[in-house]
Amino acid sequence: KIQQSQTTKIVIAEGDGIGPEIMKAVLRILKAAKANIETESIEIGEQVYLSGNSAGIDEKAWEAISKNSVILKAPITTPQGKGYKSLNVTLRKSLGLFANVRPVSALHPYVKTHFPNMDIVVIRENEEDLYAGIEHKQTDDVVQCLKLITRPGCEKIVRYAFEYAKAYNRKKVTCMVKDNIMKLTDGLFHTVFKEIAAEYPEIESNSQIIDIGSAKLATVPEEYDVIVTSNLYGDIISDIVAETAGSVGMAGSANIGGKVAMFEAIHGSAPDIAGLKIANPSGLLNAAILMLAHIGQTEVADTIKNAWLTTLEDGIHTADIFQGNISKKKVGTEAFADAVIER
Ligand code: ATP
Ligand code: MG
């Protein structure tokens, strides 16, 4: 934790697709709330890939990241076609950001959901598993993806989940994997979960197979508290959880590791609506709120969170949550940001 009085340097990546639109809106809100930050922009993603850099990130950007330890990043598009490595995966792995923390809670009735009391934190392992994208071709007709799971990796993420539950006064941690089929890889994750859960008798713990777990998340999400899971399952269930609470456009996330922390929306670059100026900036804004808390600027974080909640309560909604809601006004990205700033 960094002292509140100190200006914190933040590395900003405005991303691709809707990235620049939502980043602009979020930075305006941070400025209006007088967040004590100084920003340094880096260019990563699509343009860098298309210039012939297969990693999507160059030396200059790495240097900026190594000088500063906090990143606010908008979603990035990895171009289709082989040879382009996912920059999200590269950043998470290179920086050792082993935990991806994704809180989602219902804001019913201001954002309608069937589950007014849902309040879930998905804690997703961030470096291993199929999501590492280690694939190769065995023959022209047979391809392979390597699922690597390590004991240290499992221990780090599971312990993080229980420590998180303890710190935030959460009551239960649920493990979701598929160890009845993947007995070695998911089996190791589950074994480590049981070992570490035993060290936290004050926190309730249980396990579910990921398929029924996902089904229950879509039908009885209010029964869940903290969920710890491996990388790919975590990607999938956090979209389910966020959309069930209202919209994938609402949730933010913290990528936590050793020295660096990276904050981003849980959603992708939404190319289908890029440039239309209708994207919901809330996911990236919630990521920025998590970032402000991380650097010790909790008052600014609270101010922004309250202004954002009041905006939603006043029925000012972006298109993704407008339909079926008690909305008074459908607005675009910039007008939504203006409404937050006004409040
Ligand atoms: P990724 O693999 O990068 O996570 P994805 O395939 O999950 O990408 P997203 O880019 O997250 O896809 O988009 C999924 C859907 O949600 C799209 O229809 C998109 O328009 C919508 N969406 C995502 N983010 C927002 C947002 N901030 N505001 C409005 N709609 C959004
Ligand atoms: Mg996605």
Question: 133 pLDDT band (50/70/90 cuts)?
Answer: confident
**From the CB of 16, is ligand 1 less than 6 Å away?**
no
**Sign of CA pseudo-dihedral 256, 48, 17, 64:** positive
Distance of CA 72 from the midpoint of ligand 1 (Å): 18
Model pLDDT, residue 1:
46
**From the CB of 246, is ligand 1 less than 6 Å away?**
no
Question: 50 pLDDT band (50/70/90 cuts)?
Answer: very high
Of 131, 73, 85, 123, which Cα lies nearest the Cα of 102?
123
Q: Is the pLDDT of residue 170 over 90?
A: yes
Distance of CA 248 from the midpoint of ligand 2 (Å): 9
Of 274, 305, 292, 312, which Cα lies nearest the Cα of 74?
274
Best residue among 267, 308, 323 to mutate for probing ligand 1, ranked by most atoms within 8 Å of CB: 267
Distance of CA 270 from the midpoint of ligand 2 (Å): 9
Average confidence (pLDDT) over 10-24: 97
Question: 329 pLDDT band (50/70/90 cuts)?
Answer: confident
**From the CB of 270, is ligand 1 less than 6 Å away?**
yes
Average confidence (pLDDT) over 143-169: 97
**From the CB of 283, is ligand 1 less than 6 Å away?**
yes
Average confidence (pLDDT) over 279-303: 97
The residue contributing the CA closest to ligand 1 atom 3 is: 268
Q: Quickly list H helices, the chain.
A: 19-32, 46-50, 59-67, 87-94, 151-167, 185-197, 210-219, 231-245, 282-294, 298-313, 333-342
CA distance 237 to 339: 31
Distance of CA 195 from the midpoint of ligand 1 (Å): 37
The residue contributing the CA closest to ligand 1 atom 12 is: 268
The residue contributing the CA closest to ligand 1 atom 25 is: 249
**From the CB of 46, is ligand 1 less than 6 Å away?**
no
Distance of CA 238 from the midpoint of ligand 1 (Å): 12
* Location of structure tokens 């979701």: 176
Best residue among 248, 269, 282, 331 to mutate for probing ligand 1, ranked by most atoms within 8 Å of CB: 248
**From the CB of 320, is ligand 1 less than 6 Å away?**
yes
Ligand 1 atom nearest residue 284's Cα:
27
The residue contributing the CA closest to ligand 1 atom 6 is: 268
Least confident among 45-54, 178-187, 210-219: 45-54
Model pLDDT, residue 268:
95
In this prediction, what percent of the chain has a pLDDT beyond 90? 90
CB 7 within 8 A of CB 68: no
Which bound ligand lies closest to the C-alpha atom of 249?
Answer: 1
Model pLDDT, residue 5:
63
Question: 82 pLDDT band (50/70/90 cuts)?
Answer: confident
Which bound ligand lies closest to the C-alpha atom of 268?
Answer: 1
**From the CB of 280, is ligand 1 less than 6 Å away?**
yes
Number of C-alpha atoms within 13 angstroms, CB side, residue 122? 31
* Location of structure tokens 């089996």: 187
Q: Is the pLDDT of residue 2 over 80?
A: no
Average confidence (pLDDT) over 323-328: 80
Ligand 1 atom nearest residue 282's Cα:
27
Question: 331 pLDDT band (50/70/90 cuts)?
Answer: very high
Exposure string over 117-141, b if 16+ CB within 10 A, otherwise e: ebebbbbbbbbbbbbbeeeeeeeee
The per-residue pLDDT of the chain, averaged, comes to: 95
Average confidence (pLDDT) over 132-145: 94
Least confident among 3-7, 33-37, 130-134, 332-336: 3-7
CB 234 within 8 A of CB 125: yes
Tens digits of residue pLDDT in 207-253: 999 999 999 999 999 999 999 999 999 999 999 999 999 999 999 99
Distance of CA 152 from the midpoint of ligand 1 (Å): 32
Which bound ligand lies closest to the C-alpha atom of 287?
Answer: 1
**From the CB of 19, is ligand 1 less than 6 Å away?**
no
Find all residues with CB under 8 Å of 217, minimum gap 6, and list them. 120, 224, 237, 240, 241, 244
